[in-house]
Amino acid sequence: MIHKLAGLIFDMDGVLVDSNPFHLDKWMALLNEHGIEFDPAQLPEQILGQRNDTALRFFFGDKLSAEERRRLIEELEEKFRRAFRSHARPLPGLEPLVVEGHRAGIPMAVASSAMAKNVEFVVEALGFRRYFKALVNGDEVSKPKPDPEIYLKAARLLGAKPQSSVAFRHEMRRNRVKFPRFRASLANPGRSRGRKFHGTEPAPP
């Protein structure tokens, strides 16, 4: 089936790499440092898949200026990159799929809510940059996930019709949405370290 596809589009955190525990750790440290109360059980739903500025507004309200938000985001993500660098490795089954897609001549993209520095960092750390024609980050779209805008933009950059493409997505309970424009979408292909990429599920009608 893969040879018939027009494009493959991958979310990053939780799909390419198991980075979410590192993001959670840095966010907990940040909130504790500033005396912000939070529920550890709810934190994944509140930050994962969100743009950092959105998450900061959720926890800090209007207390931070735009410059303070930018500074905190840069510090937060620099700490993440330093901590994650030696742990960056593809989730099980990902590399064979990406290599197969590349050999088949299928254009591929990453579509992540992360900042551009993080997307570039992860793709380079995996040694996958040569495989991806496009890298789309959260600052390049007006509508955050779960809206599919970022996946549709990636498809446009690939020159691929969504109806003939597959999107691999990381989902939280809050952002389970339909992807009717894509031929198929596979949610949480790498949710656990032992679960591999294997096939796709039809896109909801």
Task: Evaluate whether residue 122 is within a structural domain.
Answer: yes
| 152: CATH | 3.40.50.1000
Residue 163 domain boundaries: 2-18+90-187
SS3 82: helix
DSSP string, 15-74: TTB--HHHHHHHHHHHHHHTT----TTTHHHHHTTS-HHHHHHHHHTT-S-HHHHHHHHH
- 116 burial type by CB count under 10 A (0-12 exposed, 13-18 middle, 19+ buried): middle
Task: Evaluate whether residue 135 is within a structural domain.
Answer: yes
Residues 140 and 136: their CA atoms lie apart, in Å, by: 7
Task: Evaluate whether residue 133 is within a structural domain.
Answer: yes
pLDDT tens-digit readout, 75-102: 999 999 999 999 999 999 899 999 999 9
Q: Model's pTM, two decimal places?
A: 0.83
Task: Evaluate whether residue 103 is within a structural domain.
Answer: yes
pLDDT tens-digit readout, 12-46: 998 999 999 999 999 999 999 999 999 999 999 89
Range picked from 119-133, 134-148, 179-193 for highest mean pLDDT: 119-133
Together in a domain, 100 and 166: yes
What is the model's pLDDT at position 173?
A: 53
Question: Is residue 2 a contact partner of residue 101, using CB atoms and an 8 Å limit?
Answer: yes
